[in-house]
Structure 1
Amino acid sequence: MSRVICAGHVNWDVTLRVDALPEPDGEAIVESRVGAGGGSAANVASGLVGLDLSTALLGSVGDDEYGHAAVAELASKGVDCRHVVSVDHGPTTVKYIVVDAAGEVFVLGSPGVNEAFDASDLPETALAEVDHLHLTSQSPTTAAALARLANDVGTTVSFDPGRRIGDRGYSEALRLVDYVFLNDREAATALGAAAGSGDRADQDPSRNGSNGGSVGDALDETTLVLKHGPNGAEVRDGDERHVHPGYPVDAVDTTGAGDAFAAGFIAARLDGKSYERALAVANACGALTAAEPGARTQLSWRRLDELVEH
């Protein structure tokens, strides 16, 4: 069985469902409040386990109630949490996720220790024993160090840098990975206005902070996996372009849909599937997650098959 290590954020999410996202100086009615484990790396790890891939997690939490609950939840799903570091110098990161009736998401984050882990917290032999490393939004130094270690032992790497791709200095890490996942906003930041048109373009430095064109340059030799939400997704591999239109669902909560997408894509590619099939699986995972509340829908091949058939 293929094995994956996911590295990055392990959070505790407090999800507030509201009737509408308020305007400035406005007010919304909180219809429900739910706490559960979150964080991109943890979400992807949970999704991969549901798709029958043995998966380990590298991250960090505080030695507190939320940290213990987040790790216990993941372990109960079958995620190997032995490399999740518990630290006593700060709290587990908590994200407050506001979701409106249309499934649109607004996120508020509190400071925490979800980047307290380091590449050295992973034993040197661990990456040589797995088939794939998936990186998420984390310290640029740690991301680059992990990618280099994976390259040294021939382990493939994917990276979902998240919404801060334009200002976190990820260029070195981006040059070392095989796949980069970007949504439309992130692609516009990294690649410029042409990101959605099928042509690569470097971003004007004045629109991309100090990283500027360096992010676009770092992506030149990387396979891009672009997530277009309800409009499907595409892979850009050199001059080749592969597209899948996605699946029509009524969005309830888009939190974690991109993480589920990444889990589906990785699982399909590790199973030797084509880009077209990988995109179909990934879109199905994202659709199932968007159609249900919470960041972690229980993924399974049975549920994916049912969605595709209908």
Structure 2
Amino acid sequence: MLYITGITPSLSQLTYETTISLIKEAKERGITVIFDPNYRKKLWNQNEFKKFYKKIAKDIDILLTGSSEANILFGSKTNEEIVKETDAKLLVIKDGSNGAFFANHEESFFKEAYKVKEIDSIGAGDAFAAGLIYGIQKYNIDDLSQLSKYALAMGALATTSYGDFYGLPTLNELNQFLNHQLSDVER
């Protein structure tokens, strides 16, 4: 898999062109391309951001976006309308502590977030992405039920401590959380 965020192409013309080249190379090699917009208004304006997305949209297999980023890219459309507008094999639209919308060509649903004692949300989006990738690797892109559990659990658990990565669980802790529906991981 190739995981690309919207940060890298916004840093310079070289990183913009390199990102495009990486995506093209990945597609030629049959590598799954994941795009997480991770929009930062200090790095580029919305028009540049949308222009970049349109340039790569046909090559994206998985679009992993936040609801505010989806609004920038697609306007005020419903999640179901966005599904029809994207060629991605998997669409995930995160909505923070509310949960996330998951859709492929077979099904779509909104799944609520796991309830945990939130301390700090920094790093939750990255943890969510890691959980999604793990779920895809373990099950496959079509098993929304399973991959959504891992994504939402990782995102939730990342908020149970301060900082970017301190709340990330081990695989054993993650499975314990999922299997026992614990509200927190014992550390």
TM-score scaled by length of structure 1: 0.48
In the alignment, the residues of structure 2 paired with residue 255 and residue 184 of structure 1 have an alpha-carbon distance, to the nearest angstrom, of 17
Residue number among 137, 156, 162 corresponding to 1:293 in the alignment:
162
Per-residue deviation, 1:239: 6.5
* 1:178-217 map, 5 Å: 178-196=61-79, 198-200=80-82
- How far did residue 184 of structure 1 move? 1.3
Is residue 261 from structure 1 mapped to residue 143 from structure 2 by the alignment? no
Q: Does 1:280 align with 2:123?
A: no
* RMSD of aligned alpha carbons: 2.2
Matches within 5 A, 1:1-310: 132-136=1-5, 137-139=7-9, 140-164=16-40, 166=46, 167-168=48-49, 169-196=52-79, 198-200=80-82, 220-222=86-88, 223-238=90-105, 240-273=107-140, 274-296=143-165, 297-308=167-178, 309=180, 310=182
Check whether the contact 2:57–2:87 (CA below 8 A) recurs between aligned residues. no
Residue 170 (structure 1) shift: 2.7
Aligned to 1:103: none
Shift of 1:153: 0.8
Alpha-carbon distance, 1:279 to partner: 0.7
Displacement of 1:307 after TM fit?
A: 2.2
Q: What is the rounded CA distance, in whole Å, between the counterparts of 2:53 and 2:153 in structure 1?
A: 29
| Paired residues of 2:60 and 2:87 also in contact (CA < 8 A) | no
- Cα distance in 1 for partners of 2:66, 2:100 equals 9
Q: Deviations over 1:39-83 (max 9, x none)?
A: xxxxxxxxxxxxxxxxxxxxxxxxxxxxxxxxxxxxxxxxxxxxx
| Unmatched runs of 5 consecutive residues or more in structure 2 | 10-15, 183-187
2:13 is matched with none
* Superposition deviation, residue 257 in structure 1: 0.5
Q: Tell whether the 8 Å contact from 2:119 to 2:161 is kept in structure 1 after alignment.
A: yes
Superposition deviation, residue 288 in structure 1: 0.6
2:106 & 2:158 partners in 1: Cα distance?
31
Does the 8 Å CA contact 1:157/1:178 hold for their aligned counterparts? yes
Contact 1:268–1:281 (Cα < 8 Å) also in 2: yes
Which deviates the most, 160-169 or 146-155?
160-169
Asked whether the equivalents of residues 144 and 176 of structure 1 are also in contact (C-alpha less than 8 Å), the reply is no
Of the two structures, which has the highest relative contact order with CA contacts closer than 8 Å and spacing of 6 or more?
A: 1
TM-score by length of 2: 0.77
CA distance in 1 between partners of 2:18 and 2:57 (Å): 12
Q: What is the match of residue 12 of structure 2? A: none
Question: Identity of counterpart residues, as a percentage?
Answer: 28
Aligned residue pairs: how many? 162
Deviations along 1:95-133, whole A, 9 cap, x unmatched? xxxxxxxxxxxxxxxxxxxxxxxxxxxxxxxxxxxxx11
Whole-angstrom CA distance in 1 between matches of 2:17 and 2:53: 8
Unaligned runs of 5+ in 1: 1-131, 202-216
Residue identity in the other structure for 1:134: Y
Alignment partner of 2:39: what SS? Answer: helix
CA contact (8 A) 1:143 1:173 kept: no
How far, CA to CA, are the matches of 2:103 and 2:18 in structure 1?
A: 26
Q: C-alpha distance in 2, partners of 1:237/1:141?
A: 29
